[in-house]
Amino acid sequence: MDEEIYLEENTEQFNENKKLMSRSPRRIISFFTLLIICMILFIILQSNKFFIFNINRSFDNVPNPMIAQLFSYVFIVIIILGILSYIYLTISYIKRKKLNNDNQLETIDKYKKIYNISDIFSIVPIFLVFVLIVNGFFYSFAQVDGSSMQPTFCNNDAVIIRYSEDFEQNDIVIFELEETDGSLIYLIKRLKAGPGDKLVVDSTGVWVNNILVEDDVDSRTQQYHIESLPEGVFYVLGDNRSNSVDSRVNGLIAQEDMIGKVVVKLSNQTCPLN
């Protein structure tokens, strides 16, 4: 009876070991293949300044909230742990291939632990591909810097933006602006006029489709009398009109300078107009 139990247990271990040794190379190849895909995406998306894994991204060139930085740091740590676990699995698998069946069975418990730990990290490259695609091509984090959008947005408010080329009146948009020294800054404003809209800006104020949207103008204000704005240009204003440098000073914003629109405000702070 004892011998039968031993043979049965030995057979179960043999079958389990066979499965582990069969699955291991597929698991290893799958992990590192996805990791290579992630690296390719990582390199390609470095051109996106709002990409949270952009190695050149800082608050100075793109205002980014702490949540984005924290997310990227945590994820990088998880990726490193996942890579280390699969390197260890690969080394262990290569060593076990050199052992005979009896020796493999003697160390099966240790190998199962190594395999199970790597199994925990098997979702990492899949999730990373998802994050890279979503963050690189669809959504990202940003942080409001300044008071030009009060009371809608306060200084340091965290937001989620959606990359877009389709904008409507009153959208909160993110765009880039080249300064006199050639550096780029990123601004958040409200879109007030777009292609097809009638825009009149003079000493009486800003008129969009014959409706007065702002009467706070000064000597810096660029004047327009356009019956129909052409494709590819937009007129934007800050909600805090008395403390906003916007299209009244900077002029029309070109389509190619538009990054996207704000879709979610992550902060819940309130702020009075300055």
CB 249 within 8 A of CB 221: yes
Which runs of E-coded beta strand occur in 28-147?
139-143
**pLDDT of 9 higher than 80:** no
In terms of domains, do 14 and 75 share one?
A: yes
What integer pLDDT is reported at residue 60 of this predicted model?
79
In terms of domains, do 77 and 196 share one?
A: no
Q: Could you tell me whether strands 253-254 and 233-237 are parallel, antiparallel, or unpaired per DSSP bridges?
A: antiparallel
CB 194 within 8 A of CB 167: yes
pLDDT in tens, 227-247: 999 999 999 999 999 999 999
What integer pLDDT is reported at residue 238 of this predicted model?
96
Query: Percent of the chain beyond pLDDT 90?
Result: 74
Which of 139, 157, 182 is the last residue in one of the domains? 139
Nearest to 92, CA basis, from 20, 33, 36: 20
Does some domain include residue 272? no
**pLDDT of 8 higher than 70:** no
Does some domain include residue 55? yes
pTM of the model: 0.82
pLDDT in tens, 129-142: 999 999 999 999 99
In terms of domains, do 220 and 132 share one?
A: no
In terms of domains, do 8 and 109 share one?
A: yes
In terms of domains, do 77 and 175 share one?
A: no
pLDDT in tens, 40-71: 999 999 999 899 999 888 887 888 888 888 88
pLDDT in tens, 113-126: 999 999 999 998 99
Residue 9 domain boundaries: 2-139
In terms of domains, do 121 and 176 share one?
A: no
Does some domain include residue 94? yes
Number of independent structural domains in the chain: 2
How crowded is residue 14: how many other Cβ atoms within 10 Å of its Cβ? Answer: 15
First to last CA, the chain: 88
State how far the Cα of 184 lies from the Cα of 182, in Å rounded to an integer.
7
In terms of domains, do 134 and 7 share one?
A: yes
What integer pLDDT is reported at residue 2 of this predicted model?
43
